[in-house]
Amino acid sequence: MSSSLAANGDMLVILRHAPHGSSWLREGLDAALVAAAFGQRVSLLFQGDGIMALVPGQEPGALGQKGTAATLDMLAMYDIESFYADASALDRFDMAPDDLQLPSLPVDGATIAQLIASHRLVLTF
Amino acid sequence: MRYGLLVQGAPYSSQASHSALRFATALIARGHQLECVFFYHDGVYNASRLAAPPQDEPHLVDAWRGLNAGHGTQLQVCIAAALRRGLLDERESARHGKTGHSIEPPFELTGLGQLVDLGNQVDRLVTFAP
């Protein structure tokens, strides 16, 4: 568990929705990519159900919705490399940091508050 | 203070638009500047020129227009979120070979880059989501 954060940035994008039930995750990731393309230093926080985005293999399914796995793979090309995962959600879903598609730092509630405070702009999806 | 709003809820489906409008009115009454309202996700439906709510409900689209007319607030709509939901202005309608359009000024279709710019310009960017 991290208690101090090395990273800060221009924008924190908080992703709170799982991949397939809605377009929240896709549209949140789109906002992160565009911000990075505009030169912002972007961090991503996967919170609550949002950590399901980090389960590998979120490909398009039978419903024909776009998958998000490929988008997560693109983040590095946009220099988005600061990833945080809500530790309580990891516990709740019995997920370990090694299970995640992106190397994400588990963060507790107090650290999430620090993250929000250390970014000038916060968008929540 | 200079404010921007990000609205992500569809009108009448969720509280987001109603709350955002109340907040907008309060800001202006207190002497703040509301630079822009940016509509994203299902919030893009707030821009539909064809909205026809019953008379005993507030007309949210007209209320947004009123903010522009009375206060000069820009009303920007994410083009990618709008197009896939069937919200097109005259130019996009023609470009996609459609008849009719569902967005008209003062609402304008713009990119998400404008949201990033807005976040950098204003003192506070406040999100209203379902």
| Helix axis angle, B60-71 to B16-29, nearest 10° | 20
The answer, for B127 touching chain A at a CB cutoff of 8 Å, is yes
Q: From chain A, pick out residues whose CB is under 8 angstroms from the CB of B117.
A: 38
- pLDDT computed for residue A7 by the predictor: 58
- pLDDT computed for residue A63 by the predictor: 85
Of A24, A34, A124, the CB nearest to B112: A34
Quickly count helices (H) and strands (E) in chain A. 4, 5
- pLDDT computed for residue A1 by the predictor: 46
Cα–chain center distance at A83: 6
In chain B, the residue whose alpha carbon lies closest to the alpha carbon of A35 is B116
- Residue boundaries of the structural domains of chain B: 2-128
Residue-averaged pLDDT of chain B: 97
Q: Decide yes or no: CATH 1.10.1060.10 for domain B2-128.
A: no
Instruction: Write down the ipTM of this complex.
Output: 0.91
Q: From chain A, pick out residues whose CB is under 8 angstroms from the CB of B81.
A: 27
Terminal C-alpha separation, chain A: 24
**How large is the average pLDDT for residues B109-115?**
97
Count of CA atoms in the C-beta half-sphere (13 A) of B27: 24
Structure tokens at B21: 């409008």
Beta bridge partners of B76: B38, B108
List, by residue number, the catalytic residues of B: 78
B62-106 confidence digits (pLDDT tens): 999 999 999 999 999 999 999 999 999 999 999 999 999 999 999
Q: Cα-Cα-Cα-Cα dihedral of B27, A112, A17, A83, to 10°?
A: 120
**How large is the average pLDDT for residues B6-15?**
97
pLDDT in tens, chain A (125 residues): 444 454 578 999 999 999 999 999 999 999 999 999 999 999 999 999 999 999 999 999 888 888 999 999 999 999 999 999 999 999 999 999 999 999 999 999 999 999 999 999 999 99
- pLDDT computed for residue B99 by the predictor: 96
Domains and CATH numbers, chain A: 9-124 (3.40.1260.10)
A96 contacts: CB under 8 Å, gap ≥ 6: A90
